Amino acid sequence: MTATIIDGKAIAEQVILKVKDRVSVLNEQGILPGLTVILVGDDPASQTYVGSKERTSTRLGMKSDVISRPSSLTEDELLALIDDLNQDHSVHGILVQLPLPKHMDEHKILQAIDPRKDVDGFHPLNVGKLLLGQQGFIPCTPFGIIQLLDYSAIEIEGKHAVIVGRSNIVGKPMGQLLLNRHATVTYTHSRTPDLAEFTKQADILIVATGQPSMITGEHIKPGAAVIDVGIHRNSDGRLSGDVDFASAKEVAGALTPVPGGVGPMTIAMLMENTCLSAERALRT
């Protein structure tokens, strides 16, 4: 079997075009959806992500601001900055680019963002709403993966989804979203003995471990949909994921590539969430 390659770039473009239409409607009502990204320090990967977020939001007719501060910024200074943005009515989405410098308490910082502007969906209130199946903000990467599955007509209800990785930003919300869509969900992680025993049962396998190429064809049930969240820069400069693409594509039914799979969706869903925040602000 050779897997169908899920074209995340093309699907992200479709999502973005729909968001663009909604932004136009808001613009006609005098609303300019505004996203502000706070970047602390000079992590090169973070600078790349922030740059593409800025380009995409500008392309969509949104207001895009990046506030860059040195890694010497104190926690109190960052909290004061977030507070200013919470009060600013022209800002609909606030995103603090992670990771933060070590002297900052990430939980405290994320909790300071007004949950109505928390377009990353990391505030405890939005995490709780996701758990309860209520409307809040859904973290962009798992939200994007649901879109990839839906656009690719991969059925979720009644299927066995296995998640490899249990981070707060990918694994945990991913499992919850799939559960909300009536999948049977299994979480696995670094302490799971005999990982392959679980992954081989998956109709939908989501891999978010940060371990390059750790999932191979031998971990995959024939015909499964495999979503690779990982991003790694190899020594030759090329990008690859947590799934060994060459062996996986011989077994899987559908597979996301790296690059061009999950990555573009994460940015598209950030645009979706920012637009949604502006629409909600208009209604209140």
Q: Does 46 bind ligand NDP (CB under 6 A)?
A: no
Q: Which is nearer to ligand NDP, 26 or 122 (CB)?
A: 122
User: Is the distance from CB of 79 to CB of 112 less than 8 angstroms?
Assistant: yes
Q: How many other CB atoms are found less than 10 A from the CB of residue 33?
A: 28
Sheet containing strand 93-96, strands side by side = 63-69, 34-40, 93-96
Q: Which candidate, 211, 200, 209, 156, places its Cα nearest to that of 182?
A: 156
In angstroms, the CA 132 to CA 6 distance is 30
Q: Does 3 bind ligand NDP (CB under 6 A)?
A: no
In angstroms, the CA 121 to CA 55 distance is 21
Catalytic residue among 53, 159, 172, 249: 53
Q: Does 186 bind ligand NDP (CB under 6 A)?
A: no
Q: How far is the CB of 146 from ligand NDP (least distance, A)?
A: 14
Tell me if residue 114 is catalytic.
Answer: no
Q: Does 257 bind ligand NDP (CB under 6 A)?
A: no
Catalytic residue among 117, 118, 120, 172: 120
- Lookup result for tokens 């909300």: 180
User: Is the distance from CB of 60 to CB of 270 less than 8 angstroms?
Assistant: no
User: Is the distance from CB of 207 to CB of 198 less than 8 angstroms?
Assistant: no
Judged by CB under 6 A, the residue of 125, 179, 195, 282 near ligand NDP is 195
Q: Does 273 bind ligand NDP (CB under 6 A)?
A: no
Q: Does 40 bind ligand NDP (CB under 6 A)?
A: no
Q: Does 229 bind ligand NDP (CB under 6 A)?
A: yes
Q: How many other CB atoms are found less than 10 A from the CB of residue 26?
A: 19
Q: Does 263 bind ligand NDP (CB under 6 A)?
A: yes
Q: Does 208 bind ligand NDP (CB under 6 A)?
A: yes
Judged by CB under 6 A, the residue of 79, 214, 281, 282 near ligand NDP is 214
- Strands 160-164 and 4-5 come out as unpaired
Angle at which helix 171-180 crosses helix 140-151, to 10 degrees, equals 40
Query: Cα dihedral sign for 154, 156, 162, 164?
Result: positive
The site that binds ligand NDP (CB under 6 A) totals a number of residues, namely 25
Tell me if residue 53 is catalytic.
Answer: yes
Among residue numbers 130 through 149, which ones bind ligand NDP (CB under 6 A)?
Answer: 141
Q: Does 52 bind ligand NDP (CB under 6 A)?
A: no
Q: Does 53 bind ligand NDP (CB under 6 A)?
A: no
Q: Does 67 bind ligand NDP (CB under 6 A)?
A: no
Q: Which is nearer to ligand NDP, 121 or 263 (CB)?
A: 263
**Which residues in this chain contact ligand NDP in the complex, by CB under 6 A?**
141, 164-167, 169-171, 188-192, 195, 208-211, 214, 229-231, 262-263, 266
Active site residues: 53, 97, 120
